[in-house]
Chain A
Amino acid sequence: MSACPDKTQLLHGLLDGELDAVNAAAFEAHLKTCEACNAEYLRQLSLRDRVATPGVAHRAPERLRANIEAMIAEEAAPAAHPPPRSVRRAWWAAGGAGAGGLIAAALALTIAIPQMTEASLDRQLVAGHVRSLLANHLVDIQTSNQHVVRPWFNGKVDVAPPAPELADQGFPLVGGRLDYLDGRVTPAIVYKRRLHTVNLFVWPAETRTGRDHVARRDGYSVVEWTEGGLRFAAVSDIGVDELQQFRHAFEAAAPAS
């Protein structure tokens, strides 16, 4: 410090209102007699002014706020609450036999539960999408090779979801993941669109029927369709139009199985 090196902490303490009354009074008295310290004090005050310029502190982006709101709603919903991620991981670590049993259990659960309404499924789809962006659980298997993604699901789920590479159409393949939606283990294929993520959930068509369906919910787009005995739902924070583009690219590339 320019002035009295031994007074540096007093100076900043006063600036921050962290001095007790005795020390504050003593140092204020010192400021009146020590020109150098006083100059430094004024300098620090003007620095504080500069740093307080509006726009220096960052504000959370709206999207982040929306994601966190969705997370709270999802976490707080008691009925549709999926098991914690670590538990889900543990299932798969438990290996084939155990996993098969659990899939059976999940299926039994599906039968027991009345068919969900479209709106509530939309909500779950969006929640699943948001969840996938949290805590690095975007993909369980990360590869842009479709011949790796598809076999990876073998034995883990009761569908063989197509996972074509769509990089040429602007939707590069990122990988695959197991999610838990509507009471059953559900494969999700993950694509990117620029910096955005597209989650594509896949079911056997017989367990989930319905019209083609487009929805916008909490700032996310949902596009659902049936093709080749499979039911697809794409979810992303890109616009509905772009997500429809994704659907067309996907349909064109995925051979109806």
Chain B
Amino acid sequence: MTSRQTPPASAAGSDPARQFRETVLPHLDAAYNFARYLSRDATVAEDIVQEAFLRAFRAFPTWRGGSAKAWLFAIVRNCFLNWAAGQGGAARVVSESTLSETQAEALANAVDLDQEDPETALIRRKDAEAIRAVIEELPEPFRETLVLRELEELSYKEIAALTATPIGTVMSRLARARQMLADMLLPPSDLAGGAPAAQEVRR
């Protein structure tokens, strides 16, 4: 959440392309990351981000300042929803109960983390891949909420605005998402006892 409160591109005559490069383009990695976790497909994510930037550039004169990142994310999200609608909604239909084999596999690969291994970099990469896979398997809307907060560091308020969701719901989604992740990624905690949070938050 760095460059917020950037002044709007007021005078359209004063090189909007430069303004755009300075205020919006720095969020390219973030936009791609967001689109990638939404779509769970590298090629689709590229298409979505490319289209989002085209739209963002054309709409840039109408941007009224504030967080350029949140503004861009709203466009990315719309592009994603358009794409998903074109897929017959298939992309949104992810059963909440599937914490599946992919995760199990990814975890199996990450299991040896605690052992000493000279190839620490390789292990870390494997670990990153495993974590990615687990996040990707999170059902929506938990995945989106988690990525926006944990990886993109949007505030609760920004996430609520972006996803058109009450803040309370954002908070319970986030808690649930983290609980699912923790169950997958961390060894069971002694104090967690027999009541993992899974059944708690059922909005």
Q: Name the A residues within 8 Å of B36 (CB-CB).
A: 58
Encode B1-33 as 1/0 by CB contact (under 8 A) with A: 000000000000000110011000100110111
| B191 and A3 contact, CB distance less than 8 A | yes
| B182 and A71 contact, CB distance less than 8 A | no
Chain A: minimal CB distance from B52 (Å): 10
Is B75 among interface residues, defined by CB-CB distance under 8 A?
no
Is A65 among interface residues, defined by CB-CB distance under 8 A?
yes
| A134 and B51 contact, CB distance less than 8 A | yes
Choose from B29, B43, B168, B191 the contact partner of A59 (Cβ within 8 Å): B29
Q: Which size class do A's interface residues fall under?
A: 35 or more
User: In the complex, A73→B17 CA distance in Å?
Assistant: 8
Is B156 among interface residues, defined by CB-CB distance under 8 A?
yes
Is B58 among interface residues, defined by CB-CB distance under 8 A?
yes
Q: Name the B residues within 8 Å of A47 (CB-CB).
A: 178, 181-182, 185-186
| B29 and A18 contact, CB distance less than 8 A | no
How many residues belonging to B are interface residues under a CB distance threshold of 8 Å? Answer: 58
Question: Which interface residue of B132, B178, B196 has the most chain A CB atoms within 10 A?
Answer: B178
User: In the complex, A123→B57 CA distance in Å?
Assistant: 20
Residue in B closest to A17 when the chains form the complex, CB atoms: B155
Residue in B closest to A68 when the chains form the complex, CB atoms: B53
**B 33-63 contacts with A by CB, 8 A:** 33, 36-37, 42-43, 45-47, 49-51, 53-54, 57-58
| A56 and B131 contact, CB distance less than 8 A | yes
| A60 and B124 contact, CB distance less than 8 A | no
User: In the complex, A13→B47 CA distance in Å?
Assistant: 35
Given A2-B189, A12-B175, A59-B33; A51-B181 close (CB under 8 Å): yes
Chain B: minimal CB distance from A83 (Å): 13
Choose from B54, B192, B196 the contact partner of A71 (Cβ within 8 Å): B54
User: In the complex, A61→B168 CA distance in Å?
Assistant: 35
Q: Name the B residues within 8 Å of A36 (CB-CB).
A: 191
Task: Report A's interface with B, CB cutoff 8 A.
Answer: 1-3, 5, 8-9, 11-13, 16, 18, 35-36, 39-40, 43-44, 46-48, 50-51, 53-61, 63-65, 67-68, 71-73, 75-76, 133-136, 195
Besides A12-B171, A12-B178, A43-B192, 7 more A-B contacts (Cβ < 8 Å) are A2-B195, A35-B191, A53-B127, A53-B128, A55-B132, A64-B49, A72-B20
A-B contacts, 30 of them at CB < 8 A, read: A1-B197, A2-B189, A2-B192, A2-B193, A2-B195, A3-B191, A16-B156, A18-B155, A39-B192, A40-B191, A47-B178, A47-B182, A47-B186, A50-B186, A51-B150, A57-B33, A58-B33, A59-B32, A60-B31, A61-B32, A61-B42, A64-B49, A65-B28, A68-B50, A72-B25, A72-B57, A75-B17, A75-B58, A134-B54, A195-B43
